[in-house]
Amino acid sequence: MQNTEIAKVLDEVGDMLELSGENFFRVRAYHNAARAIHDQSAAVAKMTRDEIDKIPGIGADLAGKIATLITTGELPLHRELSRKFTGELLELRTIPGLGPKRIKTLIDRLHIRNRADLERAAKAGKLRGIKGFGQTMEEKILETIARTESQPARRILYSEAEEVAASLVAHLRACRAIEQLEVAGSFRRRRETIGDLDILAAASNSQAVMDRFVAFPAVSEVSAKGDTRSAVVLRSGLQIDLRVVPRASFGAALAYFTGSKPHNIHLRRIAQDRGLLLNEYGLFRGESIVAGRTEERVYRALGLSWIPPELREDRGEIEAAASGSLPKLITRDDLKGDLHTHSTYTDGRNSILEMVQKARECGLRYVAVTDHSRRLAMAHGLDRTRLHEQAHEIERLRTQFKDIAILRGIELDILDDGSLDLPDDILAQLDWVVASVHYKLDQDPREMTRRLTKAIRNRNVDAIGHPTGRLLGRREASRFEFDEILRVAREEGCAMEIDSQPDRLDLTDTLCMAAKRSGVKLVVTSDAHSPREFEFLAYGINQARRGWIEARDILNTRPLKSFRERRPLASL
């Protein structure tokens, strides 16, 4: 089992216990265990029970339950609770604003069991009379249900797909018949969400590859099995297709199955204009193959430079490849610092010391500690006094670390009128201020535009954090006039953030492109709440690459000295 699968079961148990009215501490134990599993970089399924017991936040009892889950594929308590709380009921958690407590209220008061029940009750106006709901929430619930019903089948986060893909590729590579192996499709293009996985292989014995593929332990259903193509469905519901092609066709097939569809159509049109035929087997002139073994040869035969997969969306990349003007895309190695991290001073799960140690291990040269400001009460946000206490700790730590700079920062709430959560005299003492919207994200677009531009015009604000506020699959982006935001940001020298959290990836790729065109600088940050989450920077880099971003477009690719010259840092 993948770490995400284990964590999902534990989280569901926690939610179902809360729906059952269990005590707070037992509920929290399961959620804490899920978070601890999720934070593990090592595969928990490969650990012994004693090793699981040593993971912080997991005691002996839960370690035994997790070991049972790994061994048998299920947890007895989860099975027992699932008889009472169906999957349809748990799906209500995906509706913004509906956590376990509110769902329990709906069960107790209105006997809600699924989305259909909820929709009928909301349309009848039955929610607005319940304390904690009201007419506005009732309307939002109906809007969410209407929107999700019109959306395509559920897609999973890129980070979740990556975990599955890594495990599957490792499984397949044990087959000696495989000569070449790649994950293609939207996964290779680093899309933020993935509908299914496409695996491509060249092999000396295709049947051996297919046998190995369908034997992947997470497979729940084999929907097709042939000599050149097989398809399976995993326990999670994810579909995976495997195709085996000749080595001579591998490059052409890789390009074809990587996509996107508009990109491929454009390539085929170029081929036709040259009197050629392009398909998944190669580039042909009549019966003769011109290219096919590698992608580079296929693109070159079409008069193009090789195009990085992240750009293959038919947004001008083919024209750029023809003229030799493709961007030199940013890489993870280009990042010198991280400018958005959290510690136990607010809602982080580790101390500043532990976070800095991990940042240094990741090769970073500077890291900003940006705990939340006071308004975010659920995160125990910092006021003037606690910010001062944190400053003393950072000063002490600076004497211990000579090879990484620790910046004093804050993630500052932008209030609903655009004013800031802390006064200017405090902000002026900090090295880095990222201002973010955390509430009233559904504000009228004109009001949200005014709210953000007012914050940007404050001389102490260095960047706008996760600018649209979206949560993939859970919360829609805020609406505002992005062109106006960029115009003001360029005037004020304020950067836009690419938040690397897998369920944020905010800015989007197209908004990254817009920022670049407008001359607004960006920052790629982890928004890390634990040491492991520094690894999320890779996802932010993926998003930046899809947005045609180069190292020169990102402020935190600069060495500290150059970064400081942009704006003299307050306390270094």
Q: Is the dihedral of CA 95, 83, 132, 417 positive or negative?
A: negative
CATH of the domain at 45: 1.10.150.110
Q: How many other β-carbons are positioned within 10 Å of the β-carbon of residue 295?
A: 21
The verdict on 486 and 352 lying in the same domain is yes
CATH of the domain at 266: 3.30.210.10
* Residue 297, domain member (yes or no): yes
Two structure tokens written together for 375: 């308004």
Domain that holds residue 195: 152-245
Q: Tell me which of 326, 347, 364 is where a domain ends.
A: 326
Place of tokens 């930046």: 544
Q: At what angle do helices 115-123 and 100-110 cross, to 10 degrees?
A: 70
If we measure between CA atoms, which residue out of 293, 298, 205 comes closest to residue 250?
293
DSSP letter string over 262-312?
HHHHHHHHHHHHTT-EEETTEEEETTEEEE-SSHHHHHHHTT-----GGGT
- HSE, side-chain direction, 13 A CA sphere, residue 561: 0
The confidence score (pLDDT) of residue 365 equals 97
Q: Is the dihedral of CA 111, 117, 119, 121 positive or negative?
A: negative
Q: ∠302-306-312 over CA atoms, to 5°? A: 95
The confidence score (pLDDT) of residue 525 equals 98
In contact, 52 and 66? CB cutoff 8 Å = yes
Two structure tokens written together for 312: 């293959």
Q: Report the greatest alpha carbon distance in the chain.
A: 77
* Residue 182, domain member (yes or no): yes
Q: How far apart are CA 464 and CA 493, in angstroms?
A: 11
Which residues, 6+ apart, have CB-to-CB distance to 569 below 8 Å? Answer: 407, 431, 432
pLDDT by position in tens, the chain (length 572): 788 889 889 989 998 898 888 888 888 889 888 888 877 777 888 888 888 988 887 888 899 999 999 888 889 999 898 888 877 788 887 787 788 888 888 888 888 888 888 989 889 988 888 888 888 888 888 887 887 665 555 789 999 999 999 999 999 999 999 999 999 999 999 999 999 999 999 999 999 999 999 999 999 999 999 999 999 999 888 999 999 999 999 999 999 999 999 999 999 999 999 999 999 999 999 999 999 999 999 999 999 999 999 999 999 999 999 999 999 999 999 999 999 999 999 999 899 999 999 999 999 999 999 999 988 666 678 999 999 999 999 999 999 999 999 999 999 999 999 999 999 999 999 999 999 999 999 899 999 999 999 999 999 999 999 999 999 988 889 999 999 999 999 999 999 999 999 999 999 999 999 999 999 999 999 999 999 999 999 999 999 999 999 999 999 999 999 998 876 555 55
The verdict on 319 and 370 lying in the same domain is no
The confidence score (pLDDT) of residue 140 equals 82
CATH of the domain at 173: 3.30.460.10
Q: How far is CA 85 from CA 8, 72, 144, 145, in A?
A: 15, 21, 22, 20
- Phi, psi for residue 326 in degrees, rounded to 5: -65, 145
Q: Tell me which of 149, 184, 199 is where a domain ends.
A: 149
Which residues, 6+ apart, have CB-to-CB distance to 377 below 8 Å? Answer: none
Two structure tokens written together for 265: 């159509």
The verdict on 127 and 170 lying in the same domain is no
The verdict on 143 and 196 lying in the same domain is no
Element of type H or E holding 567: none
The verdict on 298 and 408 lying in the same domain is no
Q: How far apart are CA 317 and CA 401, in angstroms?
A: 43
If we measure between CA atoms, which residue out of 472, 516, 529 comes closest to residue 191?
472
Q: Into how many domains does the chain fold?
A: 4
The verdict on 142 and 265 lying in the same domain is no
The verdict on 66 and 111 lying in the same domain is yes
The verdict on 517 and 489 lying in the same domain is yes
The verdict on 488 and 462 lying in the same domain is yes
DSSP-assigned beta bridge partners for residue 243:
200, 229
The verdict on 307 and 391 lying in the same domain is no
Q: How far apart are CA 85 and CA 79, in angstroms?
A: 10
The verdict on 301 and 237 lying in the same domain is no
CATH of the domain at 522: 3.20.20.140
* Residue 199, domain member (yes or no): yes
The DSSP secondary-structure symbol of 415 reads P
Q: Tell me which of 226, 245, 264 is where a domain ends.
A: 245
* Residue 517, domain member (yes or no): yes
Q: How far apart are CA 569 and CA 572, in angstroms?
A: 6
Two structure tokens written together for 537: 């920077």
Q: How far apart are CA 308 and CA 315, in angstroms?
A: 13
The confidence score (pLDDT) of residue 377 equals 62
* Residue 571, domain member (yes or no): no
* Residue 572, domain member (yes or no): no
Q: ∠427-531-512 over CA atoms, to 5°? A: 60
If we measure between CA atoms, which residue out of 469, 438, 437, 440 comes closest to residue 455?
437
The verdict on 65 and 211 lying in the same domain is no
Place of tokens 């190669």: 282
The confidence score (pLDDT) of residue 42 equals 79
